[in-house]
Amino acid sequence: MSQTFTLAHISDLHLTPILGLGPGHWNVKRGLGYLNWVRSRRLVHRLDIANRLVADMWQHGADHVAVTGDIVNLGLPGEIAEALSWLKTVGPPAKVTAIPGNHDIYTRRMNGPSCLEIWRDYLAADAWGAEFSGQSPETFPFLRRVGPLALIGLNSAIPTRPLVAAGRIGREQRDRLEDDLRKLKATGLMCVVLIHHPPLPGQTAPRRALQDADEMAALFARSRADLVLHGHNHRDSLIYHPSRERPVPIVGVASGSAVRTHGPEPLARYNLFRFSSSGIEMIVRGLADPNGAVVEISSHHLHASVQPMAV
């Protein structure tokens, strides 16, 4: 392809306020999460910061935006409905793809519709993807074709006990993902996998980790994926994972709404990926100062294309 296609990646927004926390929603996990929000998270994450980063992505030529989960805090129906309003300000479903994070599917006690229902248009296959995979549009993983990319959305979010933020993909999703990657190889599309939790062993503490990270690492080692994007750790990371054809870049992004640092977590950032016939350029943009402009933090050339990209 002669033109460049630009994908923006933002994650872990933890948008406030917490809405609709009534007696039917309380349990131990939500109580502890609410205390954490009051003491810490509400002071770190701000909607206006997220909106500044989103505006910057479009100004810098984003063609599509990927949101890799944790849009809300306690998985409350009121929060989830408010987050849908925010997603609509980012763009329509044709321009924005989302997947759930562990805070979006926080507990089994919903007492109302979940994000899988309310955000359906943003986290379901498009017509091409449903036909290609032969699955229902709501089935994970879901496929979307955006320009020269095949976006593959996974759901690693599972309800967990208090103080645990682990995730799991599970056998069914893994089998479908491997089958999709195998079939997509013949299309010439660049395969970009979206997952909330870091997919490799050792990328975070066990209570926050993907429970089947070993299986995911083995899958990526034997299957072609051009890029894997995740959130969850609130930090930037880049790991090249060995595979049969070439190393797979596994890229994590910091929170897209942080107005202050929190331990090793930096101020708000997002990533731009520019896909062209010469490869993938990754540009990290965000805040260097809480009151400053959104600026370029760093840039990397991930790898060169090994075949022409489909258009």
210 and 167 in contact (C-beta within 8 Å)? yes
Q: Which of 240, 279, 275, 272 is nearest to 253 (CA)?
A: 272
CA atoms within 13 A on the CB side of 271: 32
The pair of structure tokens assigned to 271 is 């990533």
Fold annotation for 5-301: Purple Acid Phosphatase; chain A, domain 2 (3.60.21)
The pLDDT tens digits for 32-77 are 887 888 888 889 999 999 999 999 999 999 999 999 999 999 988 8
Q: Greater confidence, 19 or 39?
A: 39
pTM of the model: 0.94
The full set of domain ranges for the chain reads 5-301
Confidence grade of residue 224 (pLDDT, cut at 50, 70, 90) = confident
Determine the pLDDT at residue 253.
98
The pLDDT tens digits for 231-246 are 999 999 999 999 988 8
Determine the pLDDT at residue 306.
45
CA atoms within 13 A on the CB side of 75: 30
Q: Which of 31, 98, 36 is nearest to 64 (CA)?
A: 98
Helical (H) or strand (E) element with 145: strand 142-146
Confidence grade of residue 17 (pLDDT, cut at 50, 70, 90) = low
Rounded (10°) CA dihedral 155, 159, 164, 168: -30
The pLDDT tens digits for 92-141 are 999 999 999 999 998 775 556 889 999 999 999 999 999 999 999 899 99
C-alpha span between 74 and 109 (Å, rounded): 11
User: Is residue 308 over pLDDT 70?
Assistant: no
The pLDDT tens digits for 258-293 are 999 988 999 999 999 999 988 999 999 999 999 999
The pLDDT tens digits for 153-178 are 999 999 999 989 999 999 999 999 99
Determine the pLDDT at residue 2.
53
Determine the pLDDT at residue 307.
46
